[in-house]
Amino acid sequence: MPRKVAVVAGGLSYFSKARRDKTQEELAAEAARMALFDNDINLSKDDIDGTIVSYFSDHFENQLLFGSIIQDYLGFNPKPSVRIEGGGATGGLAVRDAYAHVASGLLDVAMVIGFEKMSEVNTAKGNEFIALASDTDWDFPIGGFYSGYYALMAKRHMEEFGTTEEQMAMVAVKNRNNAQHNKFAQTNPKMNPYAMKDGGKITVDDVLKSPYVAFPLKRLDICLMSDGAAVMILASEEKAKKITDTPIWITGTGAGTDAMRAGDRPRTLSGVPMLPHEKKEWYKELEYPGVHSFRAGRESARQAYKMAGITNPLKQLDLIELHDAYTSSEIQTYEDLGLTKYGQGGKLIEEGVTALDGDLPVNPSGGLIGAMHAVGATGVMQGVEMFWQLQGVAGKFHGSDKTQIKNAERGLIHSHAGTGTYVTATIMER
Amino acid sequence: MPRKVAVVAGGLSYFSKARRDKTQEELAAEAARMALFDNDINLSKDDIDGTIVSYFSDHFENQLLFGSIIQDYLGFNPKPSVRIEGGGATGGLAVRDAYAHVASGLLDVAMVIGFEKMSEVNTAKGNEFIALASDTDWDFPIGGFYSGYYALMAKRHMEEFGTTEEQMAMVAVKNRNNAQHNKFAQTNPKMNPYAMKDGGKITVDDVLKSPYVAFPLKRLDICLMSDGAAVMILASEEKAKKITDTPIWITGTGAGTDAMRAGDRPRTLSGVPMLPHEKKEWYKELEYPGVHSFRAGRESARQAYKMAGITNPLKQLDLIELHDAYTSSEIQTYEDLGLTKYGQGGKLIEEGVTALDGDLPVNPSGGLIGAMHAVGATGVMQGVEMFWQLQGVAGKFHGSDKTQIKNAERGLIHSHAGTGTYVTATIMER
Amino acid sequence: MTEVYSFDPLIIKTPYEITYKHSYGKTTKFFTSLSDGKLMATRCDHCKQTFLPPRSDCPYCLRETKWVQISGKGRIHTFTTLYFSGEKFLKDLPFQLVYVELEGVDTLFLTRLKTKDMKKVKVGMKIKMKISRDPEWRSSDIWAEPDE
Amino acid sequence: MTEVYSFDPLIIKTPYEITYKHSYGKTTKFFTSLSDGKLMATRCDHCKQTFLPPRSDCPYCLRETKWVQISGKGRIHTFTTLYFSGEKFLKDLPFQLVYVELEGVDTLFLTRLKTKDMKKVKVGMKIKMKISRDPEWRSSDIWAEPDE
Ligand SMILES: [Zn+2]
Ligand SMILES: [Zn+2]
> Kindly report the CA angle at B38 between B36 and B44, in degrees rounded to 5?
30
Indicate the pLDDT class of residue B68, thresholds 50, 70 and 90: very high
Whether pLDDT at B77 is above 90:
yes
Closest chain C residue to B35, measured at CA: C62
Distance D45 CA to ligand 2 centre (A): 7
| pLDDT of the residue at A348 | 98
Could you give the 3-state DSSP secondary structure of residue A105? coil
Q: What is the rounded CA–CA span in Å between residue A338 and residue A328?
A: 16
Flag whether C82 is in a domain: yes
pLDDT > 70 in chain C, percent: 99
- C70: how many CB neighbours lie within 10 A of its CB? 19
Indicate the pLDDT class of residue B140, thresholds 50, 70 and 90: very high
Q: What is the rounded CA–CA span in Å between residue D131 and residue C106?
A: 65
Chains contacting chain A through 3 or more C-beta pairs under 8 A: B, C, D
pLDDT > 90 in chain C, percent: 93
Phi, psi of D3 (to 5 degrees): -125, 155
Burial zone of B15 (CB within 10 Å; 0-12 exposed, 13-18 middle, 19+ buried):
buried
Chains contacting chain D through 3 or more C-beta pairs under 8 A: A, B, C
The C-alpha of C6 sits at a distance from chain D's nearest C-alpha, in angstroms, of: 9
Whether pLDDT at D65 is above 90:
yes
Q: What is the pLDDT along chain A (430 residues), one digit of tens a residue?
A: 689 999 999 999 999 999 999 999 999 999 999 999 999 999 999 999 999 999 999 999 999 999 999 999 999 999 999 999 999 999 999 999 999 999 999 999 999 999 999 999 999 999 999 999 999 999 999 998 999 999 999 999 999 999 999 999 999 999 999 999 999 999 999 999 999 999 999 999 999 999 999 999 999 999 999 999 999 999 999 999 999 999 999 999 999 999 999 999 988 777 899 999 999 999 998 999 999 999 999 999 999 999 999 999 999 999 999 999 999 999 999 999 999 999 999 999 999 999 999 999 999 999 999 999 999 999 999 999 999 999 999 999 999 999 999 999 999 999 999 999 999 999 999 9
Q: What is the rounded CA–CA span in Å between residue A37 and residue A39?
A: 6
Task: Residue D57: give the domain boundaries.
Answer: 24-146
Q: What is the rounded CA–CA span in Å between residue B84 and residue B91?
A: 8
**8 A C-beta contact, residue A297 and residue A414:** yes
The C-alpha of B181 sits at a distance from chain A's nearest C-alpha, in angstroms, of: 34
Give the mean pLDDT of chain B.
97
Instruction: Name which of B392, B406, B408, B384 is nearest B15 in CA terms.
Output: B384
Q: Do A23 and D23 touch (CB under 8 A)?
A: yes
Q: What is the rounded CA–CA span in Å between residue C65 and residue C42?
A: 6
The CATH number linked to D73 is: 2.40.50.840
| pLDDT of the residue at A315 | 98
Interface residue ranges in chain C relative to chain A, Cβ cutoff 8 Å: 6, 9, 11, 16, 24, 27, 49, 51, 53, 77-90, 92, 95, 97-99, 106-112, 123, 138-140, 143
Q: What is the pLDDT of residues B188-204, one digit of tens each?
A: 999 999 999 999 999 99
State pTM to two decimals.
0.98
| pLDDT of the residue at A217 | 98
Q: What is the rounded CA–CA span in Å between residue A95 and residue A250?
A: 10
Q: Closest ligand to D60 CA? A: 2
Flag whether D51 is in a domain: yes
| pLDDT of the residue at A151 | 98
- Respond yes or no on whether the N-terminal peptide bond of residue A289 is cis (omega within 30° of 0): yes
Give the mean pLDDT of chain D.
96
Chain D residues touching residue B128 (CB < 8 angstroms):
86-88
Interface residue ranges in chain D relative to chain A, Cβ cutoff 8 Å: 18-27, 55-62
| pLDDT of the residue at C42 | 98
Which residues are bridge partners to C78 per DSSP? C99
Could you give the 3-state DSSP secondary structure of residue A349? helix
Flag whether D78 is in a domain: yes
Does residue B241 or residue A124 have the better pLDDT? B241
For chain C, helix, strand, coil in percent to 5 are 15, 45, 40
Chain B residues touching residue C24 (CB < 8 angstroms):
23
Q: What is the rounded CA–CA span in Å between residue B166 and residue B204?
A: 7
> Kindly report the CA angle at B400 between B394 and B404, in degrees rounded to 5?
40
Instruction: Name which of B134, B24, B139 is nearest B88 in CA terms.
Output: B134
User: Is the ipTM, as predicted for this complex, more than 0.90?
Assistant: yes
Indicate the pLDDT class of residue B271, thresholds 50, 70 and 90: confident
Closest Cβ–Cβ partner in C23, C56, C62 for B75: C62
Buried b (16+ CB within 10 A) or exposed e, B145-162: bbbbbbbbbbbbbbbbbe
Torsion of CA A73, A74, A75, A78, to 10 degrees: -90
Helices (H), A66-225: 66-73, 90-103, 123-131, 146-161, 165-178, 204-209
H or E element in which residue B95 lies: helix B90-103
Give the mean pLDDT of chain C.
96
Flag whether C140 is in a domain: yes
| C-alpha pair distances (Å), D107 with each of A326, B134, D24, D30, D128 | 47, 17, 20, 16, 16
Indicate the pLDDT class of residue B412, thresholds 50, 70 and 90: very high
| pLDDT of the residue at A271 | 86
- Taken in order A47, A49, A54, A60, the sign of the CA dihedral is positive
Q: Closest ligand to A266 CA? A: 1
**8 A C-beta contact, residue A426 and residue A95:** yes
Which residues are bridge partners to A37 per DSSP? none
| pLDDT of the residue at D15 | 96
Closest chain C residue to B129, measured at CA: C18
User: Which residues, in sequence order, are CB contacts of B118 under 8 Å at separation 6+?
Assistant: B60, B126, B225, B226, B227, B374, B375
| C-alpha pair distances (Å), A24 with each of A115, A203, A387, B425 | 7, 34, 24, 30
Beta strands at A319-321 and A410-416: parallel, antiparallel or unpaired: parallel
Indicate the pLDDT class of residue B2, thresholds 50, 70 and 90: confident
Strands laid side by side in the D39-44 sheet: D49-51, D39-44, D66-70
Q: What is the pLDDT of residues C84-112, one digit of tens each?
A: 988 889 999 999 999 999 999 999 999 99
Flag whether C13 is in a domain: no
Q: What is the pLDDT of residues B216-232, one digit of tens each?
A: 999 999 999 999 999 99
What letter does residue B404 receive in the DSSP assignment?
A: P
Whether pLDDT at D87 is above 90:
no
Instruction: Indicate which of A22, A82, A107 best probes the interface with B, i.e. most B CBs within 10 Å of its own CB.
Output: A82
**Packing angle between helix A66-73 and helix A24-37, nearest 10 degrees?**
40
- DSSP string computed for A186-238: TT-TTT-TTS-TT-S---HHHHHHSPEEETTEEGGGB----EEEEEEEEEEHH
Flag whether D12 is in a domain: no
Whether pLDDT at B384 is above 90:
yes
| pLDDT of the residue at A385 | 98
Flag whether C120 is in a domain: yes
Q: Considering its fold, how many domains does chain D have in total?
A: 1
Q: What is the rounded CA–CA span in Å between residue A305 and residue C95?
A: 42
pLDDT > 70 in chain D, percent: 100
Could you give the 3-state DSSP secondary structure of residue B222? strand
Closest Cβ–Cβ partner in D84, D92, D138 for B147: D84
CB of A38 within 8 Å of a chain D CB? The answer is no
- B198: how many CB neighbours lie within 10 A of its CB? 7
Q: What is the rounded CA–CA span in Å between residue A320 and residue A333?
A: 11
| C-alpha pair distances (Å), B129 with each of A23, A61, A63, B119, B121 | 21, 13, 9, 12, 10
Chain B residues touching residue C21 (CB < 8 angstroms):
119-122
| pLDDT of the residue at A2 | 80
Flag whether D42 is in a domain: yes
What letter does residue C24 receive in the DSSP assignment?
A: -
Chain D residues touching residue C10 (CB < 8 angstroms):
23-24, 28, 31-32, 137
Q: What is the pLDDT of residues C13-47, one digit of tens each?
A: 999 999 999 999 999 999 999 999 999 999 999 99
Q: What is the pLDDT of residues A257-300, one digit of tens each?
A: 999 999 999 887 778 999 999 999 999 989 999 999 999 999 99
CB of A37 within 8 Å of a chain C CB? The answer is no
Range C112-137 average pLDDT: 96
Q: What is the rounded CA–CA span in Å between residue A412 and residue D95?
A: 56
> Kindly report the CA angle at A342 between A338 and A348, in degrees rounded to 5?
70
**8 A C-beta contact, residue B51 and residue B84:** no
| C-alpha pair distances (Å), A364 with each of A74, A368, C25, C138 | 30, 11, 48, 44
